[in-house]
Amino acid sequence: MGTPDDTATATAGGGLRAGADARPITPDLSTDTVYLAGFEPNRPAESVHDDLMVRTFAVAAGDEAPIVFTVCDLVGLTRTHDDTGSRVVACTHTHHGPDGLGFWGQPFEGVSGIDARYLERVRATIADSQAAAVAALEPAGVVAGSVPVPELVQNHRNPEILDDELSVVRLVRPDGTVIATFVDYACHPEVVEAEGTAVTADFPGHLCRRIEAAVGGIAVFAAGALGGMQSPRTEVRTHAEAERFGEVLAEAVERAVTTDTAADATGARVAFAREQIAFALQNPVYELGMELGLVPAAERRGDDVVTEVSYARIGPAGIACVPGELFPELGLQLKQSMRATGVRVPIVVGLADDEIGYLIPEADFVAPEDYLDPGSSYEESFSAGPQAATRVVEALDGLIATT
């Protein structure tokens, strides 16, 4: 697990530039059809507790094209089939936002949870936010670090395996003021009770607002390898508890970027690579959902489905982007692969550029006899199939070794 000594710094002497942007995607309950996603289906939103956001930061080395990371306060978004260049769109996986995947409407009545017009606005907002972050690029340095925060998370499926590492990449101006703070932590944003009907970003929203109030700039939260499932360690399921989680994590962010040691001030590295992958789709519920039009159709390559992975280097940090909910043991494996290449602060971003469900170690995959009543194989019932995790990890290991 990380310690405060995992912090590393690179300054603007390396020619780094950074920009950031944030804007709301809170649905209008008077006009939008909002089925809240993440728990049981057919849970219409009745109120808005706090805003959902699109948050973006961009980083470039000199005059090179920037890497752009956007994170949305949504349960997930499917791949758009035209994600190109050095851009990533991820989701926090909040369980109290509009359904971006289609599973949480009234599936047994053939009603998708997706409001197409709302998602069109989300996609347009993402594009605007990315353009604004790129337009705002200015000289910057980067500070990155990790600290363990074990008190907030537990692994319900396998309590012996846990990734409790909070990782931070902070982009700062030459005068030390903050442009953006990128935070990654592997915990389902489901502190608020499953029966709740209010729109909320859950603890990631509180975390980002707390950081922005304390140090300025734009805060961006991404979910790590939260499969398994890594869930909040609490018996209190309230908005106040979600706010407490945000406060604890915000304090941990400042510990992560405070250190007496610093890396070499020159040569801040920025690099990005992306790879398409394909594997057999072995989930009858996914197939049926696409056939009925409840969920968007996946891109196909023969009988296989296509998704993608990507990997970024930003100064002392490496960021592996995963198109689903990776089990923590596989996330820890990817972090070790990054460290083997000299990465000081390895980060895994889940739900990035796609949401293909749980990514389960192939040896642990137990297909349910009934996907609609999976019992102890719940994660398998929301997985694309046993090959998915292997293909994701293999592809990322290759990108990590060569980027």
Q: What would the DSSP string read from start to end of 33-79? A: --BB-SSSS--B--EESS--EEEEEEEEETTSPPEEEEEESSS----
* Per-residue model confidence as pLDDT tens digits over 308-344: 999 999 999 999 999 999 999 999 999 999 999 999 9
Report the mean per-residue pLDDT for the chain.
92
Question: Does residue 42 sit within a domain?
Answer: yes
Boundary-marking domain end, from 256, 291, 315: 256
**Contact at 8 Å (CB) between 164 and 1?**
yes
Q: Looking at the domain assignment, is residue 209 inside a domain?
A: yes
Mean pLDDT of 130-148: 95
**Is the same domain home to 285 and 231?**
no
Q: What is the pLDDT of residue 258?
A: 85
**What is the total residue count of the chain?**
403
140 inside domain:
yes
Q: What is each CA distance from 191 to 94, 155, 209, 246, in whole angstroms? A: 9, 14, 17, 11
Whether 85 and 219 share a structural domain: yes
Do 324 and 226 share a domain, yes or no? no
| 124, 63, 168, 229: CA torsion to nearest 10 | 50
Mark which of 225, 256, 287 sits at the end of a domain: 256
**For residue 18, is pLDDT > 90?**
yes
Shared domain for 315 and 365, answered yes or no, is yes
Q: Is the pLDDT of residue 129 over 90?
A: yes
Are residue 220 and residue 276 in the same domain, yes or no?
no
Residue predicted with more confidence, 261 or 281: 281
Residue 1 has pLDDT above 60, yes or no: no
What is the per-residue burial (b if ≥16 Cβ within 10 Å, else e) of 234-270? Answer: beeeebebbbbbbebbbebbbbbbebeeebeeeebbb
Query: Do residues 144 and 320 make contact, with C-beta atoms less than 8 angstroms apart?
Result: no
pLDDT at 3 over 60: no
Residues 357 and 308 in one domain: yes
Residues whose CB falls within 8 Å of the CB of residue 14, separated by 6 or more in sequence, listed in order:
61, 141, 265, 266, 267, 268, 269, 315
| Residue 261 located in a structural domain | no
Binned at pLDDT 50, 70 and 90, residue 268 comes out as confident
Q: What is the DSSP letter of 298?
A: P
Report the pLDDT averaged over residues 179-200.
97
Whether the pLDDT of residue 276 is over 50: the answer is: yes
Distance CA 43, CA 46 (A): 9
Q: Report whether pLDDT(13) > 80.
A: no
The total of structural domains in the chain comes to 2
Residues 149 and 16 in one domain: yes
Q: What is the pLDDT of residue 181?
A: 97
Which DSSP helix (H) or strand (E) runs through 111? none
Note down the domain range covering 277: 270-402
- Residue 106 has a CB neighbour count (10 Å cut-off) of 14
Q: Are residues 205 and 278 in the same domain?
A: no
- Rounded to the nearest 5 percent, the helix, strand and coil shares of the chain are 25, 30, 45
Rounded mean pLDDT of 249-272?
Answer: 72
60 and 157, same domain (yes or no): yes
Do the domain assignments include residue 264? no
Q: Which of 200, 227, 256 is the C-terminal boundary of a domain?
A: 256
Residue 259, pLDDT above cutoff 70: no
23 and 58 belong to one structural domain: yes
Evaluate if residue 265 carries a pLDDT over 70: no
Instruction: Give me the residues paired with residue 358 across strands.
Output: 325
Query: Are 165 and 295 in a shared domain?
Result: no
Smallest Cα–Cα separation from 219: which of 24, 26, 57? 57
Mean pLDDT, residues 220-235: 96
Residue 83 has a pLDDT of 60
Q: Within a domain: residue 313?
A: yes
Classify residue 262: in a domain, yes or no.
no
Identify whether 265 is part of a domain: no
Query: What's the pLDDT at 260?
Result: 38
- Domain check: are 55 and 161 in the same one? yes
